[in-house]
């Protein structure tokens, strides 16, 4: 299904498609170089590292000596990606293809070195506001009491600024992002996100306008909901970039800004003074997505955790609701715990660390999800028949109808299974692991893989999908009543050769070609007849 | 002289084929143009959606619905 690849277009692919001069201008920013470096595949990182402090050209054969035979594919992919990004420049010798020399893009090399070793970079990584900035001017001419009042105000403001720390930012990001997702699932009683967000959703084909002006979620939108938060953010940002291009915004400015966000420090105040005009207008949009917090009066902004994971290849946050839930859950505890929750998957078996929304599915299709987030529940209700809600969990059942409803909405069985698997309760994973260990003890050569979900449920969901298309049908033409077998074979083989043959039966001397290919077959048949006529003459 | 006929080919398993034959019989055989083999039928292109609907209706009759039982 083509829609499956909808969210596979990554930011790298977008960057590869940019014209070279745009790329070069992008590389002038050390922060962007660092961000691009961070999202490149591991092998590409290694190759860049080996070349960054080496002014000389390197022979491609020398680089490939580093990889084993199994890594050849990965190596070629890395080289391909880097050269379409123009991070590396290939100098090919026309006489000898094996003698290809490679060097790092000059602009990229300089910027990246600056990013690594600290050179002229400060602006591209944002400008930090030191805490001693004087927002309130103390006028010495004023009388003593007002001066005292101002001092107190200043102190209070300072405290407030510091309180706008990670907890506040996490809460803020969660609110913004959840509003968007809630709006998409259509949770009743939720306020709509801002106009720009809605525009983006429509442009990205995640929602479409009904005739009565209401917005309705599309197939793509349903699939979007099941993605990881990182994928979701990038999907929206890429859409934003496309939109920005049509609004004549400079893509370099936009990209630089996004990449800068990825390298900002959480909870730190940044000045807006160093931003370009375009970037100032971006501030508002980005705060609508919850990527940054920006108070319109103040000349400062903060990045949120959602922004800092942008260029991180740690795919630690599994889904939007999870990330947000754990953030909310930990809002009262200290922030290091929240960070740990986000970053640490290994500690899942620690009961205090079980992520919210963990779910258990039994072989009788009953489902229990330990979640009290309305968003998590709304997403589950896309494909589960929910029955009861308790203070810390919901129960429901996967039924033929509930799955069919989801399938009709464009969600595929694979997506449902993947979602269930990634949200499986640690207890389910542990049980699956125990079973696998037992199996391997009995038969060391077993090809069994880890089955987290009950196989009956997985198979049934897949069967329900197949059941939806019990018949496969093609429009086209049936050819019959051939006089001779030779005539039949000639035409049938031709149809097969050009790939339009759908069915044939040699005994009945009939075959079926699809609608598009029919004219070619008719054309060929006419030629055959003509040739025969000529032969007869 | 060979002949080309416009139509829609339907590929399905034999059990579904039997159901389609039944649907066809109910409608005075205006659906199926030609029975090709055990898994293929040539049908009237305008009728494909009707066939799908009818199949869905017939098949749904035989589905066990765990929820109905509980409510009863």
pLDDT digits (tens, 9 = 90+) for A376-433: 888 888 889 999 988 888 999 999 889 988 888 878 888 888 888 888 888 888 888 8
Length in residues, chain A: 537
CA dist A498 and A479 (Å) reads 16
Q: Which of residues 414-453 of A touch B (CB under 8 A)?
A: none
Q: A98 CB contacts (<8 Å, ≥6 apart)?
A: A60, A61
Q: What is the arithmetic mean of pLDDT over A34-53?
A: 87
- Please list every residue in chain A whose beta carbon sits closer than 8 Å to the beta carbon of residue B20: 471
pTM score, whole prediction: 0.64
Q: What is the arithmetic mean of pLDDT over A293-322?
A: 66
Residue A461 to chain B, least CA–CA distance (Å): 14
CA dist A321 and A356 (Å) reads 9
Residues A40, A82 contacting (CB under 8 angstroms): yes
Helix residue ranges per DSSP H, A85-218: 106-117, 144-163, 166-185, 195-203
pLDDT at B72: 46
Q: Which CATH class is domain A3-117?
A: mainly alpha
Q: A166 CB contacts (<8 Å, ≥6 apart)?
A: A266, A267, A305, A335, A338, A339
Q: What is the arithmetic mean of pLDDT over A440-456?
A: 83
Taken in order A32, A35, A37, A40, the sign of the CA dihedral is negative
Residues A28, A300 contacting (CB under 8 angstroms): no
pLDDT exceeds 50 at position A329: no
Q: Is residue B28 part of a domain?
A: yes
- Please list every residue in chain B whose beta carbon sits closer than 8 Å to the beta carbon of residue A502: 9
Could you please report the per-residue DSSP string of B25-57? HHTTT-SEEEEEETTEEEE-GGGHHHHHHHHHH
Residue B34 to chain A, least CA–CA distance (Å): 10
Q: What is the arithmetic mean of pLDDT over A26-31?
A: 86
Domain that holds residue B48: 8-61
The residue in chain B having the minimum alpha-carbon distance to the alpha carbon of residue A515 is B6
pLDDT at A280: 81
Q: Do B16 and A365 touch (CB under 8 A)?
A: no
- Please, where in chain A does CATH 3.30.70.2610 lie? 476-536
Asked if the C-beta of A143 comes within 8 angstroms of chain B's C-beta atoms, the answer is: no
pLDDT exceeds 70 at position A342: no
CA dist A422 and A348 (Å) reads 13
Q: What is the arithmetic mean of pLDDT over A93-104?
A: 73
Residues A240, A285 contacting (CB under 8 angstroms): yes
Tell me which of A338 and A419 has the higher pLDDT.
A419
Q: Do A477 and B65 touch (CB under 8 A)?
A: no
pLDDT band at A361 (very low <50, low <70, confident <90, very high): very high
Q: H/E element holding A474?
A: strand A472-480
- Please list every residue in chain B whose beta carbon sits closer than 8 Å to the beta carbon of residue A495: none
Q: What is the arithmetic mean of pLDDT over A190-215?
A: 80
pLDDT exceeds 90 at position A458: yes
Q: Do A472 and B55 touch (CB under 8 A)?
A: no
Residues A230, A92 contacting (CB under 8 angstroms): no
Directed axis angle between helix A30-39 and helix A106-117, to 10°? 90
Tell me the average pLDDT of chain A: 78
Asked if the C-beta of B61 comes within 8 angstroms of chain A's C-beta atoms, the answer is: no
Length in residues, chain B: 72
Q: Is residue B67 part of a domain?
A: no
pLDDT tens by residue, B4-33: 889 999 988 888 899 889 999 988 888 888
Residue A512 to chain B, least CA–CA distance (Å): 8
Q: What is the arithmetic mean of pLDDT over A156-161?
A: 60
Q: What is the CATH number of the domain that holds B20?
A: 3.30.70.1220
pLDDT at A460: 92
The complex scores an ipTM of: 0.83
Number of domains in chain B: 1
Q: Do B10 and A487 touch (CB under 8 A)?
A: no
Q: Do A505 and B65 touch (CB under 8 A)?
A: no
pLDDT at A341: 43
- Please list every residue in chain A whose beta carbon sits closer than 8 Å to the beta carbon of residue B6: 476-477
Lowest pLDDT segment from A19-33, A256-270, A407-421: A256-270
Q: Do A478 and B7 touch (CB under 8 A)?
A: yes
Q: What is the arithmetic mean of pLDDT over B45-57?
A: 86
pLDDT band at A173 (very low <50, low <70, confident <90, very high): confident
Residue A3 to chain B, least CA–CA distance (Å): 23
Q: What is the arithmetic mean of pLDDT over A315-330?
A: 44
pLDDT at A353: 45
Strands (E), A318-404: 358-361, 366-370, 385-389, 394-397
pLDDT at A175: 82
pLDDT band at A164 (very low <50, low <70, confident <90, very high): low
**Cβ–Cβ pairs < 8 A, chains A and B:** 88
Q: Do B2 and A400 touch (CB under 8 A)?
A: no
pLDDT at A348: 40
Could you please report the per-residue DSSP string of A214-242? -EEE-HHHHHHHTS-HHHHHHHHHHHHHH
The backbone torsions φ and ψ at residue B36, rounded to the nearest 5 degrees and listed phi first, read: -85, -60
Asked if the C-beta of A475 comes within 8 angstroms of chain B's C-beta atoms, the answer is: yes
Q: Is residue B2 part of a domain?
A: no
- Please, where in chain A does CATH 1.10.10 lie? 3-117
pLDDT exceeds 80 at position A172: yes
pLDDT exceeds 80 at position A517: yes
pLDDT exceeds 90 at position A292: no
Task: For the domain covering A476-536, report its CATH number.
Answer: 3.30.70.2610
Question: CA triplet A192, A196, A199: central angle to 5 degrees?
Answer: 85
A240-261: burial string, b at 16+ Cβ within 10 Å, e else: bbebbeeeebbbbbbbbbbbbb
CA dist A479 and B15 (Å) reads 26
Could you please report the per-residue DSSP string of A29-69? SHHHHHHHHHHS-HHHHHHHHHHHT--S-EEHHHHHTTS-G
Q: Residue with structure tokens 């696998």?
A: A436
Percent of chain A exceeding pLDDT 70 equals 80
Q: Is residue B50 part of a domain?
A: yes
pLDDT exceeds 50 at position A463: yes
Asked if the C-beta of B2 comes within 8 angstroms of chain A's C-beta atoms, the answer is: yes
Q: What is the arithmetic mean of pLDDT over A460-467?
A: 88
Q: Do B4 and A502 touch (CB under 8 A)?
A: no
Q: H/E element holding A103?
A: strand A101-104
CA dist A398 and A407 (Å) reads 13
């Amino acid at each position: 299904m083509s829609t499956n690849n909808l969210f596979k277009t990554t930011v790298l692919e977008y960057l590869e498609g940019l014209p070279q001069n745009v790329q070069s201008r992008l590389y002038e920013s050390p922060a962007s170089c660092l961000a691009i470096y961070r999202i490149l595949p591991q092998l590409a990182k290694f190759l860049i590292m080996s070349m960054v402090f080496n002014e000389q050209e390197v022979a491609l054969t020398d680089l490939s000596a580093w990889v084993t035979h199994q890594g050849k594919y990965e190596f070629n992919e890395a080289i391909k990606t880097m050269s379409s990004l123009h991070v590396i420049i290939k100098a090919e010798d026309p006489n000898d293809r094996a003698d290809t020399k490679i060097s790092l893009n000059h602009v990229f090399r300089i910027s990246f070195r600056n990013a690594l070793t600290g050179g002229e970079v400060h602006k591209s990584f944002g400008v930090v506001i030191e805490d001693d900035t004087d927002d309130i001017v103390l006028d010495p001419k004023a009388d003593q009491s007002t001066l005292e009042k101002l001092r107190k105000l200043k102190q209070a403001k300072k405290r407030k600024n510091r309180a706008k720390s990670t907890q506040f930012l996490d809460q803020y990001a969660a609110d913004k992002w959840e509003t968007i997702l809630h709006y998409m699932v259509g949770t009743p009683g939720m306020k709509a996100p801002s106009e720009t967000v809605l525009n983006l959703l429509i442009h990205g084909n995640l929602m479409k306008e009904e005739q009565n002006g209401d917005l309705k979620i599309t197939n793509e939108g349903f699939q979007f909901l099941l993605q990881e938060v990182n994928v979701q953010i990038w999907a929206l940002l890429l859409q934003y970039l496309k939109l920005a291009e049509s609004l004549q915004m400079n893509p370099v400015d936009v990209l630089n800004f996004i990449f800068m966000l990825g390298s900002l420090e959480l909870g730190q105040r940044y000045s807006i003074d160093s931003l370009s005009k375009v970037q100032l207008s971006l501030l508002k949009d980005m705060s609508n997505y919850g990527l940054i917090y920006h108070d319109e009066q103040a000349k400062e902004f903060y990045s949120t955790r959602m922004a800092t994971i942008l260029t991180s290849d740690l795919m630690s946050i599994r889904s939007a609701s999870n990330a947000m839930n754990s953030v909310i859950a930990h809002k009262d505890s200290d922030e290091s715990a929240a960070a740990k929750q986000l970053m640490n998957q290994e500690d899942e078996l620690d009961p205090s660390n079980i992520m919210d929304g963990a779910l258990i599915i039994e072989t009788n299709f009953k489902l229990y999800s330990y979640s009290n987030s309305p968003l998590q529940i709304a997403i589950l209700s896309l494909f589960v028949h929910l029955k009861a809600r308790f203070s810390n969990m919901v129960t429901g059942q996967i039924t033929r109808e509930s799955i069919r409803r989801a399938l009709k909405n464009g969600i595929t069985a694979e997506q449902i299974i993947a979602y269930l698997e990634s949200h499986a309760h640690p207890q389910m994973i542990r049980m699956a692991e125990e079973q696998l260990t037992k199996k391997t003890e009995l038969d060391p050569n077993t090809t069994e893989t880890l089955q987290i979900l009950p196989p009956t449920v997985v198979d049934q969901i897949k069967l329900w999908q197949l059941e939806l298309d019990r018949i496969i049908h093609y429009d086209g033409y049936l050819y019959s009543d051939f006089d001779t077998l030779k005539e039949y074979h000639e035409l049938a083989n031709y149809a097969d050769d050009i790939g339009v043959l759908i069915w044939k039966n040699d005994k009945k001397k009939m075959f079926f070609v699809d609608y598009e290919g029919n004219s070619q077959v008719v054309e060929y048949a006419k030629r055959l007849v003509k040739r025969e006529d000529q032969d007869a003459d | 002289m060979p002949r080309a006929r416009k139509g829609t080919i339907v590929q399905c398993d034999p059990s579904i084929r039997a159901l389609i034959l039944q649907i066809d019989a109910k409608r005075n055989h205006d659906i199926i143009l030609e029975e090709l083999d055990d898994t293929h039928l040539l049908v009237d292109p305008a009728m494909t959606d009707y066939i799908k609907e009818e199949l869905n209706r017939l098949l749904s009759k035989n589905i066990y619905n765990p929820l109905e039982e509980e409510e009863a």
